[in-house]
Each structure stands twice: as structure tokens, then as C-alpha cells.
Structure 1
Amino acid sequence: MVSAAENAVTTKTITQDRVSVARLINQEIAATILGVSPKWLERDRWAERRIPYVKIGRLVRYRASDIAAYIDANTQGAA
């Protein structure tokens, strides 16, 4: 029989080794990075849906990688 302590160690090891968790940032930080207002992100969520977001209960979070991808996709080359 496995003790609770051994089970916790095993679970922690598996979680750290096999699960890649995306870094989530809130709307205010995402807006600052993009140079837009938090309201712009709110409008984008219900109207445009250009930037993917994550809902955790009532909280809205953005993956840092999705913000970076949006920036890359909208970067204009020199004319």
C-alpha cells in the first residue's frame, strides 16, 4: 500500500516532468505588452476574437505565447 506522502511525491514528479503549463497573464498585462487598452481586449474577445484567451471561472487570462504569436503575425516588414 502506498502512503499519502509517497503518493504526493509521485504526483509532484509526474506533474513536473510531463505537464507543460502555459504562462498565463491577465488582461492588464496583455494590454500593456500590446500597447492597447484593456477595453480593446474586451472588445476583441466578443467581437473580433483575434487573440485566443482562457477562461478560468470569471477570470480571463491570455497565454504569453498567444500574445507573442499575435505580435509576430501582425509585424509589418519594411516597405
Structure 2
Amino acid sequence: MQSVTLAKSTPNYAISLESSKQNPRGLTMPSTDKVTPIRGNDLTLVDNKQAAQILQINEKTLTNWRSSGKSPKYVKVGRCIRYRLSDLTAWIEANSRNHTGEVA
């Protein structure tokens, strides 16, 4: 059985996986104490309404953009659509322009 521990450090988060020494079938498994650093924004998910508020657009616009492939990357959690804050930030940066004649 694995347990997941979320440890908060100064600017980053880390996930620590600890596996038991025996699996359900009784076989001995090696113990893994591996810490993988993950940026805090990668763990924060927002729903469609919150993402629309961050982007300062209508929820329906964001839904239409998602259908046409123009929206930021999203994650499906079951039936729910969620956006990572890091993906929203990256999408905003990718759509930044210096002047109106600049091509995407």
C-alpha cells in the first residue's frame, strides 16, 4: 500500500511516496523513499468559472475556446474540467503581443 505525503517547503512542494515492504500477494517489494519536487502551481487546479475569472472572460467563451482548441491546456478529473494555474500562466504568456500586427 502506498501513502502520499505532501510536504511544503519554502517556494516548492514535494511529494514523498512510501511503499510498504509487502504487497497484497505477500511478495517483498523494495522500499522507495523518493522525493520529486513539483512547483506549487502544478498542484493547484481551478474549475471553468475560476479560470474564466482569472482570464477575465465569460465562462461560455472559455467553453467555446476549449471546443475549438483555442483554450489553455486542461485536465479532466472524471467528468470535471480543471485548469492548472501554471497552464493558464503559460497560455497567457504565449498569447502576449507587442503590437496588433504581430503574428502568433
Q: TM-score, normalised by structure 1?
A: 0.71
**Contact conserved, 2:62 with 2:71, CA < 8 A, in 1?**
no
Aligned residues: 72
Q: Which has a greater percent of helix?
A: 1
Deviation string, structure 1 residues 16-61 (Cα, Å, up to 9, x no partner): 9326372211111110111111111111111124311000111110
Residues 1-79 of structure 1 aligned to structure 2 (within 5 Å): 8=3, 11-12=4-5, 14-15=16-17, 17-18=35-36, 20=38, 22=42, 23-77=44-98
**Contact conserved, 2:51 with 2:83, CA < 8 A, in 1?**
yes
User: Which residue identity does 1:29 align to in structure 2?
Assistant: Q
SS of residue matched to 1:14: strand
Percent identity over the alignment is: 31
Q: Which has a greater percent of strand?
A: 2
5+ long unaligned stretches in structure 1:
none
SS of residue matched to 2:83: strand
SS of residue matched to 1:75: coil
RMSD: 2.8
Q: TM-score, normalised by structure 2?
A: 0.56
Find the structure with the greater CA-based Rg. 2
- Bigger relative contact order, structure 1 or 2, given CA contacts below 8 A and separation 6+? 1
